[in-house]
Chains A and B, each alone.
Chain A
Amino acid sequence: MKKKIYYFDHAATTPVKPEVLAEMIPYFTAHYGNPSSIYSLGRDTKEAINTARERVAKGIGAKPNEIYFTGCGTEADNWAIKGVAGAYKDKGRHIITSAIEHHAVLHTCASLEKEGFEITYVNPDSEGIIHPEDVEKAIRPDTILISIMFANNEIGTVQDIASLCKIAHKHDILFHTDAVQATGAIYYNVKDLDVDMLSMSAHKLYGPKGIGALYIKNGVRPDVFMDGGAQERHRRGGTENVAGIAGFGKAMEMAIDGIEEKSCYIATMRDYLIQSIEEKIPYVKLNGHREQRLPNNVNFSFRFIEGESLLLSLDLKGIAASSGSACTSGSLDPSHVLLAIGLPHEIAHGSLRLTIGEETTMEQMDYVVSSLVEIVERLRNMSPLYEDFKKTQN
């Protein structure tokens, strides 16, 4: 018998919706033409790209010609940051970002540091908020770009992007945001936010893997990312991933349909999960901001136990989740995000991220909580840290 899977890792990726897949399939089979070709077989695929571009643009309040498809969210982040660095290096070589960015941004910045750029990493507060005044303090005459993520992938904290962007523009600096987690989860409009560039990824919103996009406001000119043909208005060469693009368009259209009601519903589910864990398990700490938080994100530290053994135990019960523990990252240090919000190493090692989705049910959440109660107790009874702690309590 196939084991039932309880999927609580929607921040890692989401399943492709059947309607999205249906939209993609013809572009592998009947409509296989190269969109750059002149004959009708190519025109069909060109049309599919145009439709998808309109859908993605509409989803975030942009114009279609401000959407550039990329291979993934990471590529969009690379393009935005390296593209501005290359185009504006004569104006300055200083970039501001935050200490809690995804590695797609952090490692891109680290690579620019090797080329002589200087990066300031603004620290968050203990709930993961990046304060606009801290960003403003970091601004220098040679600052050319500020890149702050919209919503954190680990702890779910959502930033006040409009205020952060305002600070950047007050000083005539470009603003980019990595909105990979926020897009499809919460409603926003790029024109209201006024951001110059914004990164997205389809597979976080029930679309396919291998397709992302960068919104580039008209008038903003980062360097060309991929030299090649005339695709993506000469700025990102390479034959388009037509099926992926079509899937992204459909996934965005579906994600945006009733997004405010859906966000609200998922946030209610999230709060139920948070409350259940807090009620049933002692010595836990919710990581991230309680309200200014992605509707689907739950992140707890369970004291006295280590995250990987927690994940393995959950996996044995069919539950898929993730952790900021060092043992799952391949390094000796726990998550940079958890350390940046001030968690001591031993508490950061015991973190667990549960991210829910549209298909998550109350029964599934109850199953996860009852499993957690059992697993945490078992691991704590094995832990010398818990043994020491209990002695101090007596």
Chain B
Amino acid sequence: MYTEKVMEEFSNPKNVGEIPDANAIGEVGNAVCGDIMKIYMKIENDVIVDVKFKTFGCGAAIATSSMATQMVIGKTVDEALKLTNKQVLDELGGLPPQKIHCSVLAEEAIAAALKNYFENEGREVPDSLKNKCTGNCESCHIHDAK
């Protein structure tokens, strides 16, 4: 079902944990749906110097969290804003169709953390971050695959 790369990320995920002095935190998904991703970032001068994650979810959710954090670490905020679920999928060698939403969740978790960064800094939130997942599955338009 999963690619070797997905299983590798799932078995040995990178960047698991919390950052006590994080200045950007994003959380998406909810327990009812069975997926929650929480991203912690330490951003200095618009550069992401550290990222950690905690995820409640399936194998794909854990693998995409691990991959997405590796893809943004060391990047500038502007670069990280351009991260898409497609890029995460490509790095993982793809996911089964019913698991694509996990890669969307990873993109959204990164975006939620970045949005939080702009808010914490008192800066205007970029338009591209305004229509992202709020973590409220009840009103969700992205995950309504039901």
Contacts and interface: CB of A to CB of B under 8 A. Distances in A.
A contacts with B: majority SS: helix
Contact of B31 (A309, A345, A382, A387): A345
Given A332-B33, A384-B27, A306 B56 contact: yes
Contacts of B50: none
Interface residues on B, range: 20 to 34
Contacts of A349: 31, 34
Contacts of A326: 33-34
B58 interface: yes
A363 to B, nearest CB: 25
Contacts of B10: 309, 312
A316 interface: yes
A308 B36 contact: no
B59 interface: yes
A308 B18 contact: no
Interface in B92-146: 98-99, 143, 145-146
Contact of A383 (B27, B56, B98): B56
Interface residues of A, number: 25
A385 B56 contact: yes
Given A306-B56, A382-B55, A382-B62, A387 B34 contact: no
Contact of A309 (B33, B59, B143): B59
Contacts of B59: 308-309, 312, 327
A384 B34 contact: no
B contacts with A: majority SS: mixed
Given A304-B56, A309-B59, A312-B59, A387 B18 contact: yes
Contact of B16 (A309, A331, A345, A382): A382
A331 B31 CA distance: 15
Nearest to A304: B56
20 contacts: A305-B56, A306-B58, A306-B61, A312-B2, A312-B10, A313-B11, A325-B58, A327-B58, A327-B60, A330-B98, A332-B145, A332-B146, A345-B31, A345-B33, A381-B16, A382-B13, A383-B56, A384-B54, A387-B18, A387-B38
Given A326-B33, A332-B33, A382-B13, 6 more contacts: A309-B58, A312-B7, A332-B145, A381-B16, A382-B55, A384-B38
